[in-house]
Amino acid sequence: MCMTLETLNKKLKYGEGIIFLDPTDNRYILIGGVGKDEYGNYRDTDWCNTIEECYQEIGSCDGYSQEFLKEKLPNWKYIESKPLALVDPVPAGTYIIILPNAEEECEKYHNPLYFSEEEKEMVGKKCKIKNYEGSDYWIEFEDKFGGSFPRTAFIIDPEENSEEFFYLFSKEDKNENIEQIIELLRKFLKNNNNKIRITIKPE
């Protein structure tokens, strides 16, 4: 999976370190997690042979420019990200993913005997930040239920800037209806520079 520059910048802004793989030589790089270099670019590691090596070299090199990243990101494979730096709080409305170690992280900040069944169900799922107070975030899953998590228990959704265009096609759809949908899709693409996922489901 590749990542848009907009999503990368958002994750970097809120303190995440992001690991990418360059498939051309199977080497890894970790961008972010320690702030910017003297040129205003987010610092990164050198290219490493393993993911573990990346975490040992966080911020060891000056960062790449926005122009360079925009050119290269479509060719790099996103591997993983972790919250590494304490920076501005992630705003309400942001889509996030609850990390597998969420229960362990919650125990460091909350009652170690309390991690609800709802919160367990949220692990690994795409959720949304409802609000926050200090380092405590109230996060909801599909407007069904929610839970309280520290910043270290989640990452910003790597596909947050993907948009889904959904239309339920019917056997009775006429050509003019299809043309209207195509025109709507054309306008959607014109107004959104992000990735788009088209889902077609049978009636």
| Per-residue pLDDT tens digits for 71-86 | 999 999 999 999 887 6
Asked if residue 151 and residue 99 are part of one domain, the reply reads yes
pLDDT of residue 20: 97
Query: Residue 196: phi, psi to the nearest 5?
Result: -135, 140
Task: Report the half-sphere exposure of 168 (CA within 13 A, side-chain side).
Answer: 2
Is residue 38 predicted with pLDDT exceeding 80?
yes
Q: Lowest mean pLDDT: which of 6-20, 25-39, 118-132, 146-160?
A: 146-160
**Could you tell me if residue 88 is inside a domain?**
no
Output the CA–CA distances (angstroms, integers) from residue 203 to 29, 119, 170, 179, 191, in the order listed: 45, 34, 6, 19, 28
Percent of the residues in the chain that have a pLDDT greater than 70, as a whole number:
74
DSSP letter at 151 equals G
Place of tokens 């910048």: 9
Residue range 145-180, pLDDT digits in tens = 888 888 888 998 887 655 444 444 444 555 555 565
* Euclidean distance between CA atoms 44 and 108, whole angstroms: 28
> Is residue 75 in some structural domain?
yes
Residue 54 structural domain: 5-83
Of 46, 110, 31, 120, the C-alpha closest to 78 is: 31
The pLDDT of 132-136, averaged and rounded, is 74
Report if residue 90 sits inside a domain. no
52 and 118 inside one domain = no
Residue 41 carries which DSSP code? P
- Residue 85, amino acid: A
Q: Do residue 167 and residue 132 come from a single domain?
A: no
User: What is the pLDDT, as a whole number, of residue 85?
Assistant: 78
Check: CB of residue 130 under 8 Å from CB of residue 122.
no
Averaged confidence pLDDT in the chain: 81
User: For residues 140 and 96, what is the distance between their CA atoms, to the nearest angstrom?
Assistant: 10
Judge whether residue 132 has pLDDT over 90.
no
Closest to 134 in 3D by CA, of 151, 157, 111: 151
Does the residue 20 lie in any domain? yes
- Average pLDDT (16-31) is 96
Pairing mode of beta strands 163-168, 196-201: parallel
Mean pLDDT value of segment 83-96? 83
- Same domain membership, residue 104 and residue 46: no
Residue 34 pLDDT more than 90? no
Residue 170 exposed, middle or buried by CB count within 10 Å (0-12, 13-18, 19+): exposed
Place of tokens 């998590």: 149
Residues 61 and 32 sit within 8 Å (Cβ to Cβ): no
Q: Please check whether residues 18 and 43 belong to one and the same domain.
A: yes
Which of the two residues, 30 and 176, has the higher pLDDT score? Answer: 30
| Structural domains in the chain (count) | 3
For residues 27 and 87, the model is more confident at: 27
Q: Where is average pLDDT lowest: 38-42, 77-81, 135-139?
A: 135-139
Handedness of CA 73, 76, 82, 85 (dihedral sign): negative
